[in-house]
Amino acid sequence: MCNNYRLHVPANQIAAPFRDAGRSLGFPSGLPNLPPADYRIGDIAPVVTQGADGPQLTMTTWAWMSPTGKPVFNFRSDGRSFANSVRCLIPADGFYEFTEPKAQGRKTKWLFTMAGQPWFWIAGIIKDGAFAMLTTEPGPDVAPYHDRQIVLLPQGAGVHWLDLSAAEDLMLRPCPAGSLTVQKVWPESP
């Protein structure tokens, strides 16, 4: 499951899809300085939720604790409705998956990016003040690397997730073939 993603996009670019949709993205704590970062479970990261005055970007912890004390960082979307959930958008420009074989005690690390797009959204939900990424069956680009895939949305589709102005089953699906590019980032090829 996705336990590492990156965001190398400034906050003003994250606001652009909302401007394009005739909305403005609010920053309740002020416009954050978002240096390029790789986020891991437990990190505080930017997410967009639907606030009382419209979409807003806040810094939120990735993963809430389950009753057993384990972090919930991915959440299955299959067969569920999120109409009564606090939905969020997680801006990203890449996510990582890890596969065998191990080299020097670590698994092979693969970076996935959206073909032809500088960044995208990951669909998520908020619970107990923290977020988790929604997952679905893997699309053909991810299936060789993992048996699940996080739900990815193009920039312009994010507003539909926040207000459910499109059917959930049309958004909570794997990416079609050729939507993602993949690059091995560790170990580096000679």
Tens of pLDDT along 61-108? 999 999 999 999 999 999 999 999 999 999 999 999 988 876 677 888
Give the model's confidence band at 6: pLDDT under 50 very low, under 70 low, under 90 confident, else very high.
very high
What mean pLDDT, rounded, does the chain reach?
A: 91
Q: What Cα–Cα distance (Å) separates residue 107 from each residue in 33, 100, 142, 167?
A: 32, 5, 16, 37
Residue whose tokens read 């890449």: 94
Query: In one letter, which amino acid is 27?
Result: F
Question: Which secondary-structure segment (H or E) carries 168?
Answer: helix 168-171
> Nearest 5°: phi and psi at 31?
-65, 115
> Sign of the CA dihedral 57, 154, 1, 81?
positive
pLDDT at residue 1 greater than cutoff 80: no
133-167 pLDDT, tens per residue?
999 999 999 999 899 999 999 998 999 999 988 88
